[in-house]
C-alpha cells in the first residue's frame, strides 16, 4: 500500500489545495493531509479550526485522512509510514522554495517528494492572497469551499470589530 503525506498550513484551505488533494489521492492508496500545529506561528485559524475545515473539505475523498503534526514533516512521515510527500506547485517560485526542502527531506529519511502542478485555472490561488483579498472586502467565494468562506468572512469580521 502506498501512503503519501500532503503537508501545509492550510490557513485556510483553498480550492487550489483541494485540486491537489484530489489528484494526489488518485495517485496513492492513501493520502494524509497534514497541517502543522505549531502554535507559536501567527495564523488566522487555530490548529483545531484548520483540522475541522480540512476534514469538511476532504469528506468526499474516501482515501484521504486529515491529521495534525508538530515538528519535522519527515518525522511525521516516519510515524505514519508514508513513502512520499506531495507538494503542489503554482509556478517557478514554488519550485525554487520547495526543491531544497525536498532534497533535505530525502537526505534525512529517504522519503521522496512528488511535485504536482496546480490546474492552470487555480495557479494564482494561495491562502495568503485569499486572506488579503477577503480582508479588503473582495469576493473570494469561488476560491474556497463554502464552509471555509463562511468561517473566513466571520473571522475577518471579528478581527475588524475586535470581537
Residues with active-site annotation: 17, 41, 90, 127
Rounded Cα–Cα distance for residues 9 and 138 (Å): 22
Backbone angles phi, psi at 21, to 5 degrees: -60, -50
Q: What is the 3-state secondary structure (H, E, C) of 35-61?
A: EECCCCCCCCCCHHHHHHHHHHHCCCC
The full DSSP string for 92-143 is HHHHHHHHHHHHHHHHHH--EEEEEEPPGGGTT--HHHHHHHHHTT---TTT
Going by the DSSP 8-state scheme, the letter that residue 41 receives in this structure is S
Strand-by-strand arrangement of the 3-8 sheet: 64-69, 30-36, 3-8, 84-89, 112-117
Amino acid at each position: 500500500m502506498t501512503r503519501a503525506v500532503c503537508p501545509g498550513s492550510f490557513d485556510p484551505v483553498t480550492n487550489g489545495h483541494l485540486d491537489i488533494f484530489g489528484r494526489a489521492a488518485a495517485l496513492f492508496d492513501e493520502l494524509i493531509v497534514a497541517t502543522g500545529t505549531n502554535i507559536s506561528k501567527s495564523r488566522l485559524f487555530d490548529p483545531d479550526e484548520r483540522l475541522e475545515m480540512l476534514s469538511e473539505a476532504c469528506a468526499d475523498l474516501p482515501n484521504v485522512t486529515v491529521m495534525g503534526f508538530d515538528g519535522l514533516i519527515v518525522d511525521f512521515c516516519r510515524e505514519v509510514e508514508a513513502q512520499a510527500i506531495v507538494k503542489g506547485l503554482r509556478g517557478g517560485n514554488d519550485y525554487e522554495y520547495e526543491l531544497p526542502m525536498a532534497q533535505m527531506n530525502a537526505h534525512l529519511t529517504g522519503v521522496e517528494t512528488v511535485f504536482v502542478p496546480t490546474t492552470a485555472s487555480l495557479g494564482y490561488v494561495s491562502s495568503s492572497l485569499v486572506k488579503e483579498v477577503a480582508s479588503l472586502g473582495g469576493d473570494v467565494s469561488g476560491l474556497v469551499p463554502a464552509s471555509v468562506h463562511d468561517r473566513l468572512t466571520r473571522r475577518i469580521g471579528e478581527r475588524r470589530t475586535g470581537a
